[in-house]
Structure 1
Amino acid sequence: MESFDTLLNELLLQEQDLQFAAFTNNTAYEVGTRIIEKALQEGKSIVVDIRRGAERLYYARMNGTGDGNDQWVAWKNNTALHFKHSSYYMHVYLKSIGSSIEAQSLDADEYKAEGGAFPLIVKGEGIVGTITVSGLPGDQDHATIVEALREYLAEQR
């Protein structure tokens, strides 16, 4: 249980630390492009989807990905927006309590607790959307977003 607690606390800290002062369409482009460029450098193939509310601000699908990745984007987005935490946090949390999406009275055809959707948080507004990556194992999808956000936000300070 200790390892779950440590990881859950780390994931909550990420959500507290990786917040934007403002988030525009240009910000979505800059963040999304940074994620894609990082994947290209590392030889990884992913889909990146950034939304503010229901509006898609950025989308890129690399070679080697397809409609299945888009479905995962939707499932992970639904999970992050419903629980107001990253989908990876929910993956770890549900695992830590021996539970599942179905046990939370949610339709497993609409929600998946797997890493890759990160809440788009604007200071003073709260969660306004999601930044989602699909194509790698869930923990790596999550880490891809977190690394890009850390770099981007550090440059903005």
Structure 2
Amino acid sequence: MSELQEQEERLQFDRFDHDDAWELGSRLVGMARERDLSVTVDIRLGDHQLFHCALPGTTADNDDWIERKIRVVRRFGHSSYLVGQSYRDRGTTFEQQPHLDPARYAAHGGCFPIILRGTGPVGTVTVSGLPQLDDHRLVVEALGLHLEAKRAG
């Protein structure tokens, strides 16, 4: 859990706009293509979808997973993987919670909040198509590379 919390502290933006969504989304798609991964990538600022790309091998089910993961991040303000892990650490599962419909919420890795420093979560970046930890790691890696490039440039 501490590593997941550290990621959210470290991977924060000073600002985030349409250009950032295009650059980050393009980076994620490029990484997936280089690794021959079948994923769908989605980036939103609030309710506004700024980037969406479904690579070969994905289906409409990936879009459903994205929506369900986004609802978790919006409700809890943390990555979908962190939320799911917090339940596993308590010896239960997110899906066992009676007040959270698994048809609407999925605390599976792959959705990460876009966090503005000093403001908090303002959007989401989501990947669907891999095992949940791999989805999460791909998003975290891309965010780290994107933010590093912004600081260097």
Would you say same fold, with TM above 0.5? yes
Quote the residue 1:50 is aligned against.
Answer: 43
Matched, 1:16 2:9: yes
Which of 35, 38, 46 matches 2:31?
Answer: 38
Aligned residues: 150
Give the residue type in structure 2 aligned to 1:90.
V
Q: Which consecutive unaligned segments of at least 5 residues does structure 1 have?
A: 1-7
Give the residue type in structure 2 aligned to 1:54.
D
Flag the 1:58–1:117 CA change in 2: closer, same or farther, 3 A. Answer: same
Aligned equivalents of 2:117, 2:68: Cα separation in 1: 25
After TM superposition, the structure 1 = structure 2 runs for residues 53-132 of structure 1, keeping only pairs within 5 Å, are 53-101=46-94, 102-103=96-97, 105-132=99-126
Query: Post-superposition shift, 1:91?
Result: 1.5
Aligned equivalents of 1:104, 1:115: Cα separation in 2: 21
Give the residue type in structure 2 aligned to 1:11.
L
Aligned equivalents of 1:152, 1:75: Cα separation in 2: 25
After TM superposition, the structure 1 = structure 2 runs for residues 129-140 of structure 1, keeping only pairs within 5 Å, are 129-140=123-134
Query: Post-superposition shift, 1:56?
Result: 0.1
- TM-score w.r.t. length of structure 1: 0.92
Which of 113, 137, 140 matches 1:143?
Answer: 137
Give the residue type in structure 1 aligned to 2:22.
Y
The percentage of counterpart residues that share the same residue type is 40
Aligned-residue Cα RMSD (Å) equals 1.0
Flag the 1:104–1:14 CA change in 2: closer, same or farther, 3 A. Answer: farther
Query: Post-superposition shift, 1:100?
Result: 2.9
Query: Post-superposition shift, 1:16?
Result: 0.5
> What secondary structure does 1:107 align onto?
coil
Q: Which consecutive unaligned segments of at least 5 residues does structure 2 have?
A: none
Give the residue type in structure 2 aligned to 1:32.
G
